Amino acid sequence: MSAVHPPTPRPSPETVPFWEACQEGRLILPKCDECGFFWFPPSSFCPECWSPTWSWVEADGLASLHAFVVFRRQYHPAFEPPYAVGVVHLKEGPRILSRIITTDLTKLQVGMPLKLTWDQADDWKIPAFRPF
């Protein structure tokens, strides 16, 4: 039997800088230089005002839980149920999909505050969030 490998990201050219920053433990987001809008996933124009001028800005790692689910069925050998996945509303505005790391799945609640942490998948650092 070969070892079980978790799914790892296959970055697109636009998202390579995001994943490189993750490997250094930094969550970065595109922020528009014109209108100040933060967005995700990364792309080459601001989706709000269509400005091509923008910068990578590090998120401060605070968020709230927009919605979540708890996997009870096993879909992948690397992910042993039960575990939680949520849509995380970052303080900066964008919402991203994330593992929700907790020792008590029954305490998860929509709207609860979350903080950035990191998950490891083979050689990859993957952003995750936990209640605090």
Q: Which is nearer to another protein, 53 or 97 (CB)?
A: 97
**Least CB distance to another protein at residue 33 (A):** 15
**Least CB distance to another protein at residue 16 (A):** 10
Q: Which ranges constitute the DSSP H helices of the chain? A: 16-23
Taking Cα atoms as reference points, which of 3, 2, 94 lies closest to residue 47?
94
Q: Which is nearer to another protein, 47 or 52 (CB)?
A: 47
**Least CB distance to another protein at residue 13 (A):** 12
The residues binding another protein (CB under 8 A) are 6-12, 15, 19, 35-38, 41, 47-49, 66-73, 75-76, 79, 82-83, 85-87, 92-93, 95-99, 109-111, 119, 121, 124, 126, 128
Q: Which is nearer to another protein, 30 or 86 (CB)?
A: 86
Cβ count within 10 A of residue 61 = 15
**Least CB distance to another protein at residue 130 (A):** 13
Q: Which is nearer to another protein, 24 or 111 (CB)?
A: 111
Phi and psi of 106, rounded to 5°?
-70, -15
What contacts 100, CB < 8 A, 6 or more positions away? 65, 68, 84, 85, 86, 88, 108, 114, 128, 129, 130, 131
Token pair for 108: 């998860």
